[in-house]
Amino acid sequence: MAINDVSDISNQQAVAAQTPVQTTKALVAYLLLGAAFGVVLTKSEVLSWFRIQEMFRFQSPRMYEIIASAILSAAVWVALIKRLGATTVGGEPIAIPPKTLGYGVRYALGGTIFGLGWALTGACPGPLFALMGNGVTVMAAAIVSALAGTWLYGVLRPRLPH
Amino acid sequence: MTITAAVFLLGPWPWYVAGPLIGLFVPALLLVGNALFGVSSSLRHMCAALIPGKVEYFRYDWKKTGLWNVLFVVGVFLGGFLAAHWGGPQNVVIAEATRHDLSKLGIHDFSGLAPRELFNWSALFTLKGFVLVIVGGLLVGFGTAYAGGCTSGHAISGLADLQLPSLIAVIGFFAGGLLATHFLLPLLL
């Protein structure tokens, strides 16, 4: 029961803690930001199976440089937003909910399972959609399969350690 | 437009442009509407919208919390389409060592974003194509849901906010990736 309690708490948090602004204007902005992200994923080549292989074989620093500078850039902005107590453009408070650690099993095990899939498909979820846009249409099958994987997790969830 | 600007817009962007730009999506989404940068939640929202069944994990108001995320992902698809069309055909120039290793595994076509001989519809009916695309996709969907995030949600958003669970997840991402690259792929390809 204890394991289920932990997962139920994190489930509630995942769904309830972050209630984003979803006015029409904001929704248009999310769509446009998504498009910008798709362009960046393509032009940076992080969506390429070849680049992912290069990374996991430690044969080029490129992916590590991109990931590290992305984290650093995001960290500076997040720190700044917190320090200044910035709000959204509509004046709503900004809060990043902390992730529940629980036993940590979900992060270690779930992370490893995703990592296996990342190296096989050569794509994490964002690139799957960007690759579709780039004309690698077979990734539609990978997306349907990923939906099936997510659904399978939902079904097995009560029985998995978290 | 000057030649340098054209080269910049068309060619692959250097890491010091790409990385900081990717990081910018975290504050941008927070400032627009307190939305947390991440992609894999959209898979959960799509399941909740399409096939919730009697599964508790999918029984919530997906539009209220997830519509933004689904639209973001639609945008990612459109952005990929746009970039592909203004940039023309894209060949990824990888390290010579990687090319050599992949050639030994039987990959000969290095044009495009992914090996064309493995990532196409007819290859889905071969063992290699099935494992790479279908099994790989299944692991991506299951793993990100289990871990509660992917590269964007954990590696970028989570680590930028110095969250320990995200660090554990990212170590897992690399453990899995190394395992698949160095043990599974040589067996499969």
List, for residues B171-183, the tens digit of each pLDDT value.
999 999 999 999 9
Chain A residues in contact with B113 (beta carbon < 8 A):
45, 47-50, 131, 134, 136
List, for residues B86-129, the tens digit of each pLDDT value.
876 678 999 999 999 999 999 999 999 999 999 999 999 999 99
* Distance from C-alpha of A123 to C-alpha of A117, rounded to nearest angstrom: 8
Q: What letters, b where the CB count within 10 A reaches 16 and e where it falls short, cover A103-127?
A: eeebbbbbbbbbbbbbbbbbbbbbb
* Distance from C-alpha of B15 to C-alpha of B51, rounded to nearest angstrom: 39
B147 touches chain A (CB under 8 A): yes
Chain B residue at shortest CA distance from A24? B68
B29 touches chain A (CB under 8 A): yes
Among the partner residues A26, A73, A141, nearest to B134 by beta-carbon distance: A141
Predicted TM-score of the model (pTM) = 0.93
- ipTM, interface predicted TM-score of the complex: 0.95
What's the burial of B162, exposed, middle or buried (CB within 10 Å: 0-12/13-18/19+)? Answer: exposed
Instruction: With CB atoms and an 8 Å threshold, state whether A43 touches B83.
Output: yes
What pLDDT score was predicted for residue B89?
63
Distance between B54 CA and the closest CA of chain A, angstroms: 9
Distance between A84 CA and the closest CA of chain B, angstroms: 12
Q: Tell whether the torsion through CA atoms of A21, A23, A26 and A30 is positive or negative.
A: positive
Distance between A2 CA and the closest CA of chain B, angstroms: 17
Probe site for chain A from B138, B152, B174, B189 (most A CB atoms < 10 A): B138
Residues 120-139 of B with CB under 8 A from A: 120-121, 123-124, 131-139
Six-digit token pair at B104?
């030994």
Per-residue pLDDT of chain A (162 residues; tens, 9 = 90+): 333 434 444 444 454 456 899 999 999 999 999 999 999 999 999 999 999 999 999 999 999 999 999 999 999 999 999 999 999 999 999 999 999 999 999 999 999 999 999 999 999 999 999 999 999 999 999 999 999 999 999 999 999 999
Chain A residues in contact with B56 (beta carbon < 8 A):
11, 154, 157-158
What pLDDT score was predicted for residue A10?
47
